[in-house]
Structure 1
């Protein structure tokens, strides 16, 4: 049972890390706008843009600079470091 919980924690953690990598790639692609018009760019936009759109509702761009990706990355890091870990620590305490 504990091994299953640890495996689930690892999968969730790796999925969030993969999403962070996709987010970084998407942000870097914004520096070269023609890359977003590729097939890969369109797929990545469908994956990442809904998450970024949530933060853009609350954090408007300042001039030409969009700070919402920075906040989005910080929230994902906080989720990995605190949220997911604490939830699984509580589950492990109840199981053992």
Structure 2
């Protein structure tokens, strides 16, 4: 395996794991009794909130519903698809 294939595989795997963390974070927001200041929820929040805050800054909640995670996940999936197609061009 050459270095470019290894790098792209690593990046795609990282994006996949991060996408699962985002989905898990979004699902946990449906439970209002979760204390986001206790572990492991604080660690999950520290990992995912900086990326989500980028999208929250220009997509306001609509009717009390935050749709920024949808756009964040779609962008990650697009990046994963583009990165996984890189070894074919090199």
TM-score (norm 2): 0.88
Per the alignment, in what secondary structure is the counterpart of residue 64 of structure 2? coil
Per the alignment, in what secondary structure is the counterpart of residue 71 of structure 1? helix
Write the distance in 1 (CA, Å) between the matches of 2:31 and 2:67. 18
Q: How many residues align?
A: 89
> Is the 8 Å Cα contact of residues 23 and 48 (structure 1) preserved in structure 2?
yes
Does residue 1:45 correspond to 2:42, yes or no? no
Q: What is the Cα-based RMSD across aligned positions, in Å?
A: 1.5
Does residue 1:60 correspond to 2:60, yes or no? yes
* Equivalent residue, structure 2, for 1:26: 25
**Structure 1 gap segments, 5+ residues each:** none
Q: Deviations over 1:26-45 (max 9, x none)?
A: 00110013334331110011
Q: Tell which has more relative contact order, 1 or 2 (C-alpha 8 A, sep 6+).
A: 2
Write the distance in 2 (CA, Å) between the matches of 1:60 and 1:3. 44
How far 1:85 moved relative to its partner? 3.1
**Structure 2 gap segments, 5+ residues each:** none
TM-score (norm 1): 0.83
Q: Which has the larger radius of gyration?
A: 1
More helix by share: 1
